[in-house]
Amino acid sequence: MGFQCVPSLFRIPNVPSFTPPGLIWRGKGSDEGFYAFNVGSTWGSNVIVRGTNLCPSLQIDGSKLSPVYTDINGFIYWEGNGYVYNTLTYGWVWCSQFPGYEPIEDYKFEDGEIVWRGDQFYSFSSIPSGPENEVEMRPRGSISESGSAKSLKAVWPRWAAKSGEFGEYEGKDGESGKKVKGLPQFKGAGETFLRSLNKDKGHYTYGRIHYASGKWVIGETGSAGGWHEGSEPKADGGAVTFRFTKPEGSDAQGSDISVAFDKYVCGDETETAYLGSAAIWR
């Protein structure tokens, strides 16, 4: 249905190479559970994401690891095919153990050669900072000599704006179809008609265009000076003709009005938002 800007401090545990947005838009109606904000040019500037994808995911060998917003040594972690998290000993690792576990790496001399022992895990220097940046992960522990390096990529299931903040967004990194941020604006006979964010008695309003007595009208039905009758404007539809109508016997004169979609814009409706905080006991 649309997005509404809400006051927010938007705090989550630290995410490497990512600055949480200062301004966030919350989806309403059919867009409930989605959020829109600006993430900088690396990821396409303006994006819309699901509530579970507030920052990039990671990909190893084609398998995706999703972010978990719990603090492990000062950072979030990712889970999927194993876990990616920050350790005190090795920095960033990919490990099959539970998040926060400190992997074990040791070696011994056997027949004059070094034999590596411990857990099977990979370590790397940093989380990829963008979609074009791959990071090499080095085998550690018991696979230090026998394992092969792997690549770590960042992916972000999202919808990215095609042009500007308001308008159509297209799916990226696994998301498909399109989404829209902004309210549809229409024009006709030199007048602008902006759709409301919220419905009134089950119907949107478009400035002077509104639903009354089973009809879409411009003006007031039954007015001595006449009014216009048509159908509800649609952003993905063609022009709508509102025909001039007058009471029987009236001498009022008027012309039909053709109303067509113009563009998506930021609306000016406001509503009360309740903010608060609650402690989480673990």
Whether residues 144 and 164 fall in one domain: no
Interacting residues of 14 by C-beta distance below 8 A, sequence separation 6+: 71, 74, 75, 76
Angstrom CA distances, 236 to 16, 127, 180, 264, stand at 40, 41, 12, 12
Check whether residue 71 and residue 147 sit in a common domain: yes
pLDDT digits (tens, 9 = 90+) for 225-265: 999 999 999 999 899 999 999 998 888 899 999 999 999 99
Predicted pLDDT at 165: 94
Q: What is the mean pLDDT of the chain?
A: 90
Q: What is the pLDDT of residues 133-168, one digit of tens each?
A: 899 999 999 999 888 999 999 999 999 999 999 999
Mean pLDDT across 195-219: 94
Q: Is the pLDDT of residue 273 over 80?
A: no
| Residues whose CB is less than 8 angstroms from the CB of residue 198 and which lie 6 or more positions away in sequence, other chains included | 28, 269, 271
Based on C-alpha coordinates, what's the Rg of the chain?
Answer: 28
In a domain, 276, yes or no: no
Confidence of residue 9 (pLDDT cuts 50, 70, 90): low
Q: What is the mean pLDDT of residues 99-118?
A: 88
Q: How many domains does the chain have?
A: 3
If asked whether residues 172 and 37 sit together in one domain, one would say yes
Is 151 in the same domain as 66? yes
Nearest CA to 54 out of 82, 77, 34, 72 is that of 34
State whether 163 and 30 are in the same domain: yes
Mention every residue, 6+ apart, whose C-beta is less than 8 A from residue 175: 157, 158, 159
Share of the chain above pLDDT 90, in %: 67
Work out the average pLDDT over 255-280.
Answer: 83
**In this structure, is residue 273 part of a structural domain?**
no
Tell whether 137 and 161 lie within a shared domain: no
Token reading at 23: 């301004």
pLDDT band of 8, cuts 50, 70, 90? low
Both 215 and 87 in a single domain?
no
Q: Are residues 199 and 216 in the same domain?
A: yes
Q: Are residues 121 and 91 in the same domain?
A: yes
How many percent of the chain have pLDDT more than 70?
95
129 and 164 part of one domain:
no
Where a domain ends, among 165, 181, 197? 181
Q: Is residue 160 part of a domain?
A: yes
Decide if 10 is inside a domain. yes
* pLDDT at site 111: 77
Instruction: Determine the structural domain holding residue 246 and report its residue range.
Output: 183-265
Predicted confidence at residue 277, as pLDDT, reads 63
Q: Are 34 and 93 in contact (CB under 8 A)?
A: no
pLDDT exceeds 90 at position 21: no
Report the pLDDT averaged over residues 257-278: 83
Tell me what pLDDT residue 40 has.
82
